[in-house]
Amino acid sequence: MGWIGSKASKGWSCFSPSLSIFTISRRRLNPRTLMFLNLRYRFGGGIASLAGAAFLIRDCDFPGQNIHVLEEMKVLGGSNDGAGDGERGYVIRGGRMLNDETYENTWDLLRSIPSLDHPELSVRDEIIAFDTAHPTHSNARLVNRDGQVADVTSMGFDMADRLAMVKLIMTPEENLGTARINDWFGPHFFKTNFCYMWATTFAFQPWHSAVEFKRYIFRFMHEFPRVHTLEGVTRTPYNQYDSVILPLQKYLEGHGVDFSLKCTVTDLDFREGDEITVTRMHYLKDGEPRVLDLGEGDLVIVTNGSMTEGYSLGSMNTPPKLNGKGSSWQLWERIAAKKPGLGRPSVFADHIDESKWESFTVTCQGSRFFDRMEAFSRNKAGTGALVTFKDSSWFMSIVLAHQPHFRNQPEHVKVFWGYGLFPDGIGDYVPKKMSECTGEEILTELLHHLHFQEDMEAISPPPTVFHV
């Protein structure tokens, strides 16, 4: 029995790091049973587990009926989620962008998965065709406090910023240690156009790791010349649950993969010794404790930690509540305490004030907001990507996707998404922390930043806002 772990990721790379741990072999595998314990996500089977199963079937001739995915929730998809309806409203917890020049493992996977709408095409072909028909070129990447589109033709660097960037690129990772981004760059850097755009594209906060920041610089250096237009964004036809997860799930079901939903793995037992060998799994099925003994031929792959673990949902009239650690973090803590070498979950889970953020999904019954936003930004919905309010105390951004964004979305309904990187900041127009605001208050703050506040009464019926 083997154990492989991967930590949660964020921003653009929410796909590729998860997939890469599964491209470990193209030879035939012989374990009697391959078991994916999808413990990383609270809201559906994660992309790592599903992708790993697909690679094993495709590349290793592994029988799908011997693959078992255990999932805590009643739906697959992990952080790549999207749910709701036109009447009650839709929810997307995170924003995700693909990039054609990178994400090699993702594209390799998706070219093998048939499209649901056009089975003669792969999901990869379908995405590229859609993206070609709806190219991204933002005309309003940054908006200032006066509700005006900011000039982003310059990165805004001074010489100190340039020298710090070059020094970061040249410094070996082992020499960076635990340095934070704001340990490396001075105050001016965080007021540059580049920082406003790069930070909101990849969800970086000033106290995040300088090592991770450097890795993103290397991985996406080709995006520097177009970070102000986001032309490098490759969009899916619908949200990523409908466009990626559902086709992948159908593919795996067609190969006999077993999905056990509402299963929460609570602990793993290990064989004594230096090697990492799982002998027993403890889990809850529909709330009932169960135990599974594992044999010599079984292989266990665990994905641990999640950016969306412990989420809660707010409404138009209520703010979300701050939950404690969810089951995946608790499991990681248990097994790390038992076995050296399984990482330090406390690095990721014990600094909630520095890792939390808040997103919101707005469902509009009508096109008035979209009409105003398209005229303001000079972008049709689905062509502009992120619009960031650079002077917002919540560091708020929104994106209007191509409509419909959901398979079951009625024609008259419009859906957009946004998020705030500083949820504990006091609003500029609503004098409260974003994390303490209702959906109505978040919408009020947004409309004031756009100087659309006169539309608050005119938007009828009022939008539905869910925030996470």
- Segments in 295-381 forming alpha helices (H): 327-338, 346-349, 352-355, 368-377
Active site residue 238: no
Determine whether 198 is exposed, middle or buried from the number of CB atoms within 10 Å of its CB (0-12, 13-18, 19+).
Answer: buried
Percentage of the chain beyond pLDDT 70 is 90
Token digits of residue 458: 């005119």
Distance of alpha carbon 201 from alpha carbon 411, whole angstroms: 29
Catalytic pick among 41, 90, 103, 216: 216
Looking at every residue in the chain, the average pLDDT score rounds to 87
- The amino acid that residue 186 corresponds to is G
> If 0-12 CB within 10 Å is exposed, 13-18 middle and 19+ buried, where does residue 467 land?
buried
For residue 404, whether the previous peptide bond is cis, meaning omega lies within 30 degrees of 0, is yes
pLDDT of residue 130: 97
Domains and CATH numbers, the chain: 11-78+100-132+239-349 (3.50.50.60), 133-138+352-467 (3.30.9.80), 156-224 (no CATH)
Q: Which of 383-405 are b and which e, b meaning 16 or more Cβ less than 10 Å from the residue's Cβ?
A: bbbbbbbbbbbbbbbbbbbbbbb
pLDDT tens for 25-41 read 333 444 444 455 433 22
pLDDT over 60 (residue 329) = yes
Tokens of 80: 């790549």
Q: What is the pLDDT of residue 77?
A: 86
Specify which residues 417 forms β-bridges with.
Answer: 361, 399
CA 98 to the chain's CA centroid: 11
pLDDT at 7 over 50: no
Nearest residue to 200 (alpha-carbon basis) of 152, 167, 168: 152
pLDDT at res. 458: 67
Establish how many alpha carbons lie within 13 A of residue 377's alpha carbon, considering only the half-sphere containing its beta carbon.
30
Please tell me the predicted confidence (pLDDT) of residue 185: 98
Residue 403 carries which DSSP code?
S
Question: What pLDDT score was predicted for residue 34?
Answer: 45
Kindly state the DSSP code that residue 126 receives in the 8-state scheme: H
Name the strand (E) or helix (H) holding 270. strand 263-270
Burial state string for 244-255 with b = 16 or more CB within 10 A and e = fewer than 16: bbbbbbebbeeb
Does 22 have pLDDT greater than 90?
no
Q: Yes or no: say if 71 and 39 are a contact pair by the CB < 8 Å rule.
A: no
Instruction: For residue range 90-139, list pLDDT tens digits in order.
Output: 999 887 789 999 999 999 999 999 999 999 999 999 999 999 999 999 99
